Amino acid sequence: MKLFRTLALSLFMLTIPAASSWAVSVVSDPLNVNTAFCGARLDTGTRVNSPVAVAGTVKTCKIDISTVAVGTHTIDATAVPAVGTPYTESAPSAPLTFTRPAPPVTPTGLTLITVAGKPTVQTGTVAANVTICSWKLDGEALPEVAPVSGRCSVDVSPLTAGSYILTVAAAGMDTVWGRLESPASANFTYVVPTILNAPSGLKLAP
């Protein structure tokens, strides 16, 4: 008995308070109540069954696609009954095509400049969609800042004498995919020289 209608799929984002903080799923319209699984096929891969999502008496497909690679993909789904019931699997839904955007390009061109009399490490121009500069000092994260005049920069004047390694990643927020972050830049070495002690004991001498 084939009672399952063709599925309509849509893409949506779900914010989850967890370490990753963001998940993206493909969901369907409400399913026939006799549906137990959704058989999802991504691109040309194997169809994989997963249990339906249940909210009260409503069943839907909810397929996690958070880990798909950057690029354009196509997904479809079938409605699958429980084993031993007098129903058969539906035809595949109309395919949904979606694109996972690439993260911003890794910042380059790190250089030391002076801003308002203070030593500052600055990148070359970053992409227009970059809204967050994520700096690290010797591997430890610094407070995130927004680009200034299209560049990421960090004030290094508070650092004491020594040698330091700075890196920076560029990030932006996508309404569906959440935070998109570049790989970290190449290491930039910044050295604060040790200042010699001032002479003391000045006196007149013949």
According to the model, what pLDDT value does residue 39 have?
96
Structure tokens at 48: 């994989």
Q: Is residue 132 a contact partner of residue 170, using CB atoms and an 8 Å limit?
A: yes
What is the spatial distance between Cα 125 and Cα 106, in angstroms, rounded to a whole number? 11
Bridge-based pairing of strands 118-125 and 132-137 is: unpaired
User: Is 179 part of any domain?
Assistant: yes
Q: How far is CA 61 from CA 72, 121, 151, in A?
A: 21, 49, 43
Question: Does the residue 106 lie in any domain?
Answer: no
Query: Per-residue confidence at 83, pLDDT binned at 50, 70, 90?
Result: confident
Predicted TM-score (pTM) of this structure: 0.76
* Residue 197 lies inside a defined structural domain of this protein: no
Query: pLDDT tens digits, residue range 119-168?
Result: 999 999 999 999 999 999 999 999 999 999 999 999 999 999 999 999 99
**Separation CA 196–CA 186 (nearest Å):** 32
* CATH code for position 79: 2.60.40
